[in-house]
């Protein structure tokens, strides 16, 4: 009993001593708690202050990105439609910076149309967006064609960063930016514009290829509203943090005060034990949940692997996988069907065994550089079948894993040789005469307009010759249509022999032909070609059905003397041909504005 009482007395005395000691340090503890609370809320205020600024920047970035995407989608839509044609008006004039063979067109009813290219249309949409959003848009490039597209220093720096692959977009806050002459704070956003497959038609001549950065679109947005909202939010944040500090300090004061008066070690111990039990129970529950999740994820991965393996084996496209040393480690059955090589013949070997020899070392160097930087490459490639045949294939290569890992590569390809041949045949048939293989009327008019545009742009001269075969109907009537077709083929050959490869000989229909002599050094060249053509056409035709004799009447019109557009040249050349025909045939005639004036005519009768 005495020992128990003594032990209890010692415990009571120890508790009392500890309590007195706690009371003695009460103010120091309280001041320390105030200091910790102050540092804590000051840290929170600093973090939230920075986050508000980052949130404001993010909002500005998102605004700029949305406006950029609007302009970019407009450009893509236009490019995918290969430009759009609009009527020529006082407000809409032909784009002098657009180099395109079909920039200007004339409808059948005489209405003049001009092509709006992707960048031109994007610029017009940007001007409309400026009126509604208040933002300022600029389409710039390090190689601008328009003087107005020259980038300012900020845009030059952004374009250089894009070209060096340092960033995909840029957003900056500037203290002063001119909006219609007013200097206002602004956020400036810029993203690059890439050359896409549909853009190559116009930009390939400038040295660009698919994937190159053509320039960028910058969006400058007034920042006053965002800055006002940011400042207002920061003021509210400071008030909340200050109020939280005051409330927390008061609570700490109350807690310490109550702890001083009601210091019960046994209750604290019980509370701690209960907390430990709750924490252990929560951890055990979380561990079980995590284990169930891992089991489910493992099953899903196994199912995905089985599905991927089934797709790999049953795919119609050839698929192979290479290791980090570029050695083939796996192929699917379609690989053997397309290349002729069995799996045992290619495993462990370099895919270069499929090379056709048609691609240069630079081609493969660029392909691997693109793969290393982008992780993916696709395009047409010529490969050699095991039997030696050369076939064109569409190849897609993707890196497996991230840039830091050793990584493997997955390649998928299929044979497109027949499709390419069919496409080429269809293109040829659509633009060439089925009998003579000469350009047809459609292709002729395209080349005439292109020659006209080039001559007008570079101040050159060219000639248009319209040829009509004399007495061709007699051949059809006497020897038959088969003989007539044979004669047309020979006439086409003779006309083609009179001109250079850069010139055009076309069959317009029936016994009508046309010749375009582009980029002539002198006007006499047209008469020399016409004289030679008349002479050749008049020579006998030795056909399967017998010998036939015809002649040719040719009308000549020169640009720019005899017409300022392609239609006028056609009319004048036709008029000159009519004069040659009515004057006795087997002759050529150079168009003269006054037909009763002295005519320059060559007659070989």
pLDDT in tens, 370-394: 888 888 888 888 888 878 778 788 8
Predicted local confidence at residue 202, as pLDDT: 65
Q: Is 50 left (phi over 0), alpha (psi -120 to 50) or beta?
A: alpha
Taking the C-alpha atoms of residue 258 and residue 317, their distance in angstroms, rounded to an integer, is 77
What does the DSSP assignment read for 387-438?
Answer: TS-EEEEEEEEEEES-SSS--EEEEEEEE-HHHHHHHHHHHHHHHB-TTT-S
Place of tokens 């070609």: 529
471 is written with which tokens? 């007495």
Predicted local confidence at residue 554, as pLDDT: 95
Residue 590 counted as domain residue: yes
- Which domain covers residue 304, as residue numbers? 273-311
Question: Can you give the CATH number for the domain in which 357 is found?
Answer: 3.30.450.20
Residue 298 counted as domain residue: yes
Cβ atoms 339, 385 nearer than 8 A: yes
Task: Please indicate, yes or no, whether residues 579 and 481 belong to a single structural domain of this protein.
Answer: yes
Cβ atoms 441, 509 nearer than 8 A: yes
Task: Please indicate, yes or no, whether residues 516 and 543 belong to a single structural domain of this protein.
Answer: yes
Taking the C-alpha atoms of residue 435 and residue 483, their distance in angstroms, rounded to an integer, is 12
Predicted local confidence at residue 495, as pLDDT: 94
Taking the C-alpha atoms of residue 424 and residue 418, their distance in angstroms, rounded to an integer, is 10
Task: Please indicate, yes or no, whether residues 387 and 486 belong to a single structural domain of this protein.
Answer: no
Predicted local confidence at residue 326, as pLDDT: 82
* Domain C-terminal end among 261, 284, 311: 311
Predicted local confidence at residue 257, as pLDDT: 77
Number of domains in the chain: 3
Residues of the chain with pLDDT under 50: 1-16, 19, 404-405, 595-605
58 is written with which tokens? 């993010």
Question: Can you give the CATH number for the domain in which 504 is found?
Answer: 3.30.70.270
Task: Please indicate, yes or no, whether residues 286 and 302 belong to a single structural domain of this protein.
Answer: yes
Cα 293 vs. chain centroid, distance in angstroms?
Answer: 42
Predicted local confidence at residue 316, as pLDDT: 74
Task: Please indicate, yes or no, whether residues 295 and 399 belong to a single structural domain of this protein.
Answer: no
CA dist 347 → 90, 321, 331, 398, 591 (Å) = 67, 10, 8, 19, 73
Residue 244 counted as domain residue: no
149 is written with which tokens? 């597209």
587 is written with which tokens? 């002759």
Taking the C-alpha atoms of residue 503 and residue 494, their distance in angstroms, rounded to an integer, is 14
Taking the C-alpha atoms of residue 545 and residue 522, their distance in angstroms, rounded to an integer, is 42
What number of residues does the chain have? 605
Place of tokens 């200050």: 242
């Amino acid at each position: 009993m005495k020992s128990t009482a003594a032990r209890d007395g010692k415990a009571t005395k120890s508790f009392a001593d500890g309590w007195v000691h706690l009371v003695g340090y009460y103010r120091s503890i309280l001041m320390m708690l105030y200091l910790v609370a102050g540092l804590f809320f000051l840290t929170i205020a600093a973090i939230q202050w920075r986050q508000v600024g980052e949130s404001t920047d993010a909002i500005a970035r998102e605004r700029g990105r949305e406006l950029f995407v609007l302009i970019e989608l407009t450009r893509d839509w236009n490019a995918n439609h290969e430009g759009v044609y609009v009527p020529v008006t006082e407000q809409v004039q032909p784009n002098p910076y657009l180099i395109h063979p079909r920039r200007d067109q004339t409808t059948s009813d005489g209405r003049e149309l001009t092509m709006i290219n992707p960048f031109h249309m994007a610029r017009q949409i940007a001007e409309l967006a400026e009126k509604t959003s208040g933002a300022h848009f600029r389409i710039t490039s390090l190689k601008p064609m328009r003087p107005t597209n020259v980038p300012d220093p900020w845009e030059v720096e952004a374009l250089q960063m894009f070209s060096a692959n340092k960033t995909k977009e840029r957003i900056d806050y500037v203290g002063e930016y001119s909006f219609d002459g007013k200097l206002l704070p602004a956020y400036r956003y810029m993203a690059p514009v890439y050359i896409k497959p549909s853009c190559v038609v116009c930009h390939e001549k400038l040295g660009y290829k698919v994937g190159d950065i053509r320039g960028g679109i910058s969006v400058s947005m007034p920042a006053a509203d965002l800055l006002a909202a940011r400042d207002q939010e920061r003021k509210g944040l400071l008030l909340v943090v200050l109020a939280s500090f005051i409330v927390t300090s008061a609570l700490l004061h109350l807690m310490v005060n109550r702890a001083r008066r009601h210091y019960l070690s046994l209750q604290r111990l019980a509370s701690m034990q209960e907390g430990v039990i709750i924490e252990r129970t929560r951890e055990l529950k979380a561990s079980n949940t995590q284990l169930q999740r891992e089991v489910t994820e493992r099953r899903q991965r196994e199912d995905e692997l089985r599905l991927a393996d089934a797709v790999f084996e049953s795919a119609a496209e050839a698929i192979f996988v290479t290791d980090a040393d570029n050695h083939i480690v796996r192929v699917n059955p379609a690989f053997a069907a397309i290349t002729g090589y069995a799996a045992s013949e290619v495993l462990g070997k370099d895919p270069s065994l499929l090379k056709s020899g048609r691609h240069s070392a630079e081609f493969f160097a660029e392909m691997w550089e693109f793969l290393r930087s982008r992780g993916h490459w696709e395009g047409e490639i010529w490969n050699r079948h095991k039997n030696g045949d050369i076939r064109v294939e569409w190849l897609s290569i993707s890196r497996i894993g991230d840039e830091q890992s050793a990584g493997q590569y997955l390649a998928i390809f299929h044979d497109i040789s027949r499709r390419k041949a069919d496409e080429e045949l269809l293109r040829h048939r659509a633009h060439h005469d089925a009998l003579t293989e000469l350009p047809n009327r459609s292709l002729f008019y395209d080349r005439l307009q292109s020659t006209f545009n080039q001559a007008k742009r570079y101040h050159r001269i060219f000639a248009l010759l319209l040829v009509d075969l004399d007495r061709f109907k007699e051949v059809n009537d006497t020897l038959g249509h088969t003989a007539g077709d044979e004669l047309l083929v020979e006439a086409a050959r003779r006309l083609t022999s009179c001109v250079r490869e850069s010139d055009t000989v076309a069959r317009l229909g029936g016994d009508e032909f046309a010749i375009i002599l582009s980029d002539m050094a002198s006007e006499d060249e047209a008469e020399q070609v016409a004289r030679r053509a008349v002479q050749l056409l008049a020579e006998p035709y030795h056909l399967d059905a017998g010998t036939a004799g015809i002649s040719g009447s040719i009308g000549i019109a020169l640009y720019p003397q005899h017409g300022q557009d392609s239609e006028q040249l056609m009319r004048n050349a036709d008029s000159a041909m009519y004069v040659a025909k009515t004057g006795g045939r087997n002759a050529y005639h150079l168009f003269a504005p006054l037909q009763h004036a002295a005519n320059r005519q060559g007659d070989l009768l």
